[in-house]
Amino acid sequence: MTERYDAIILGMGPGGEVAASRLISGGKRVAVVERELIGGECAYWACIPSKTLLRPPEARSAARRAFGTGTPTLTLEEVFDYRDFMIRNLDDSGQVEGYEKKGATVVKGEGRIAGPGRVEANGETLEAEHIIVATGSAANVPPVEGIEDVTVWTNREATTTREVPSRVVIIGGGPVGLETSQTLSRFGSRVTLVQHADRLINREDGQVGELVRAAFEEEGIEVRTGRSAKKARMDGGTAVVELDDGTELETDVVMVGTGRKPNAEGLGLESVGVEPGGKGLPIDDHCRLAEGVWAIGDVTGVMPFTHVAMYQGRVVADNILGKERRADYRGIPRVVFTDPEIAAAGLMEGQARERGVEAATATVELPKVLARPWTYEENPRGTLGLVADRQRGVLVGAWAVAPQAGEWIHQASQAIRAEIPITTLLDGVAQFPTYSEAYLKALEKLDL
């Protein structure tokens, strides 16, 4: 017999989980379909383990950078044990039970849309008024000749390893490449980071890449920008990666952090009239794909972050619950949890100008204008940049490379989203001595 629901959710990463929970709380009959583990990439192989692994060496580095504190011992076995606890030892039975207790039907298996309102999974057919596609993304492996002959890690191996390779070549200078470089380097690997673009984290302002590069090189990470890996081969027991300038790098492991591809294939989307594009599913501003079909999270290709997947999950659930809601992506924060942290929100100067914004910018070096960097560490660091729209008198973007920047970027995010007038922001009062005081200093430097 075919079961009938209000909504079926295909894929239970953070996007699917938020949509499911909100719909269940709203009294809807929900079925969820998950082919691996409830919690998705984020909970087991991405956000959670990567941030867990970054924290102990960050605490050690913070102790070294403070004054009068020794160097704490890093015990990798204990770090990996705690990581395993955080990723629930790759076991989601508690999650399955939790959703069943809340009244949802949980189907473990690959799901596929089989026409309007119909999903097939695990040999069953489920029917519903709404289908939410939340199938996430997978690691891209770049086209490097011979790469299949060497040991390749994606985020999955890097986040679940209990071994620290002596040498690693990391391809990709985006968030995943940067975080993994610092983790493995601080665990004792010799890391070479190869980035195709001429600067690291090239989605952000050019100054960001330079600041990160300097911080990485200072701690012994070798950074090669403007270079691509062309070939890979085994030479005896050693892997060799050849770059486009002919340089050969010997390594034990090649880690790829070269972006993600949406899990949009094989979902039966044609049966509801949707063409899965390579860059993500074409949703409208309500996150709707077709009548009764919605999509959220990485599979949409909008912004590959957990908080965006969860936001879209809230948007879709509210629309299904009859509270019409549109997604607004302005000013959403994006943080790389390296030390120092890299945080940004909204448009960088170049992007603002491309959109016809008459941009004014200001940059402040925090140790020159604030007390907090000096009370925090002996060799104080930190830079904040702002991008304002001169005509409208509001902030449109901000970036920072500084301790805890991922916490205080939210003030810029709110200001951008709420279009708070800069005249109002200039009347702001931040606690002394905090990093947040940097905003007033930078705002005062804006030539509006």
Ligand X SMILES: Cc1cc2nc3c(=O)[nH]c(=O)nc-3n(C[C@H](O)[C@H](O)[C@H](O)COP(=O)(O)OP(=O)(O)OC[C@H]3O[C@@H](n4cnc5c(N)ncnc54)[C@H](O)[C@@H]3O)c2cc1C
**Closest to ligand X by CB, 240 or 302:** 302
Instruction: Pick the closer one to ligand X by CB: 257 or 380.
Output: 257
Rg of the chain on CA atoms, in Å: 23
34 binds ligand X (CB under 6 A): yes
Angstrom CA distances, 333 to 279, 329, 336, 405, 418, stand at 21, 10, 10, 11, 14
Residue 197 Cβ vs ligand X, minimum distance, rounded to whole Å: 19
What's the min distance (Å) between Cβ of 172 and ligand X?
Answer: 11
Per CB under 6 A, does 181 bind ligand X? no
Asked if 205 is part of the footprint of ligand X (rule: CB under 6 A), the reply reads: no
Q: Is 419 in the site for ligand X (CB under 6 A)?
A: no
- Cβ(134)–Cβ(313) under 8 Å? yes
Q: Residue 399: count other Cβ atoms within 10 Å of its Cβ.
A: 28
Binding residue for ligand X, selected from 117, 177, 304, 385, defined by CB under 6 A: 304
**CB count in 10 Å sphere of residue 324:** 9
Q: Among the candidate windows 92-100, 163-171, 299-307, 384-392, which touches ligand X by CB under 6 A?
A: 299-307
What separation in angstroms does the CA of 165 have from each of 24, 151, 178? Answer: 45, 11, 17
Q: How many residues bind ligand X (CB under 6 A)?
A: 38
Token pair listed for 6 = 């209000």
309 counts as binding ligand X under rule CB under 6 A:
yes
Nearest residue to 411 (alpha-carbon basis) of 444, 445, 383, 386: 386
CB of 229 vs ligand X, minimal distance in Å: 19
When the beta carbons of 297 and 385 are compared against ligand X, the nearer one is 297
Contacts from 25-30 at CB under 8 Å and sequence distance 24+?
26/317, 26/320, 26/321, 28/320, 28/321, 29/4, 29/5, 29/103, 30/5, 30/6, 30/103, 30/104, 30/105
DSSP string for residues in 349-408: HHHHHHTT--EEEEEEEHHHH-SHHHHH-SS---EEEEEEETTTTEEEEEEEEETTHHHH
Q: Which is nearer to ligand X, 33 or 425 (CB)?
A: 33
Closer to ligand X by Cβ: residue 134 or 171? 134
Q: Which of 3, 6, 36, 222 binds ligand X (CB under 6 A)?
A: 36
- Cα–Cα distance, 53 to 15 (Å, whole number): 23
To ligand X, the closest distance from the beta carbon of 153 in angstroms equals 11
By the rule CB under 6 A, 155 interacts with ligand X? yes
Task: Using the minimum distance from each CB to ligand X, give the nearer residue, 121 or 366.
Answer: 121
The rounded Cα 130 to chain-centroid distance in angstroms is 28
Q: Which of residues 95-134 bind ligand X (CB under 6 A)?
A: 110-111, 134
Which listed residue (56, 136, 380, 403) binds ligand X by CB under 6 A? 136
Task: Give the alpha-carbon dihedral of 72, 73, 77, 81, to 10 degrees.
Answer: -20
Ranges within 224-263 binding ligand X (CB under 6 A): 263
Residue whose CB is less far from ligand X, 12 or 343:
12
Instruction: Please state the closest distance from residue 234 (CB atom) to ligand X, in A.
Output: 26
- 3-state DSSP assignment of residue 99: helix
Decide whether 346 or 367 has the Cβ nearer to ligand X.
346
Q: Is 14 in the site for ligand X (CB under 6 A)?
A: yes
Q: What angle (nearest 5°) sits at the alpha carbon of residue 380, between those of residues 376 and 383?
A: 110
Which one of residues 58, 120, 204, 298 is an interface residue with ligand X (CB under 6 A)? 298
Structure tokens at 150: 């060497």
Asked if 216 is part of the footprint of ligand X (rule: CB under 6 A), the reply reads no
Contact residues toward ligand X (CB under 6 A) are: 10-16, 33-36, 40-42, 46-47, 50-51, 110-111, 134-137, 155, 159, 176, 263, 267, 297-299, 304-307, 309, 337
